[in-house]
Amino acid sequence: MPYYFEDFPEGFVYETPKRTVFETDIVNFVALSGLYEDLFCNLEYIENESPIRGGRFAPAAMVWGMAQGLTTRTGLYEKTFVAILGVDEMRIPKPILVGDTLQVRVTVLSARETSKGDKGVLNSRFEIVNQRGEVVMHYQMQQLVLKNPTT
């Protein structure tokens, strides 16, 4: 059942399903985006020269996209989501590595109706958490969501 703007009160929290980052994800994303940096596609550099140790890690843009996909999988915005209006204060405090399993925790910080009254803007904090419970990325996002036409 989709959620409308009214179903997301301030303080509402939800979590997504989990998903593991695979080597193939990084290879496909780098090929699609053209992000051919040594950091993502040169194993010799990654293993011996990279300032970040621990293995092959994922591009932040890819992780953000994965987070959006995981959020979609909840079904909460099915046919009620209209647009992303902005993303602010993105931080990546820890690298996301191949083999990490990610989940997104979303907290609604504020909600306001639009001037037309048929939609609302949700300002939410998104936290991407790995299998150890560490926040590996967080940001605030403003989303335009339909109001329930029957209320």
Alpha helices in the chain (DSSP H): 23-33, 38-41, 43-48, 60-73
Domain count across the chain: 1
Residue 54's pLDDT band, with cuts at 50, 70 and 90, is confident
**For residue 74, pLDDT beyond 90:** yes
**Could you give the CA distance from residue 77 to residue 31 in angstroms, rounded to a whole number?**
29
Q: Which CATH number characterizes residue 128's domain?
A: 3.10.129.10
| Residue 30, domain member (yes or no) | yes
- What is the residue range of 106's domain? 5-146
Give the mean model confidence (pLDDT) for residues 115-133.
Answer: 96
Q: Specify if 66 maps to a domain.
A: yes
How far is 96 from 137, CA to CA, in rounded Å? 9
| Whether 114 contacts 120, CB under 8 Å | yes
Q: Is residue 151 part of a domain?
A: no
User: Dihedral of CA 81/86/91/92: which sign?
Assistant: positive
Residue showing tokens 């909840």: 74
Contact by Cβ (8 Å): 58, 26:
yes
pTM, entire model: 0.91
For residue range 9-37, list pLDDT tens digits in order: 999 999 999 999 999 999 999 999 988 88
Mean pLDDT (the chain) is 93
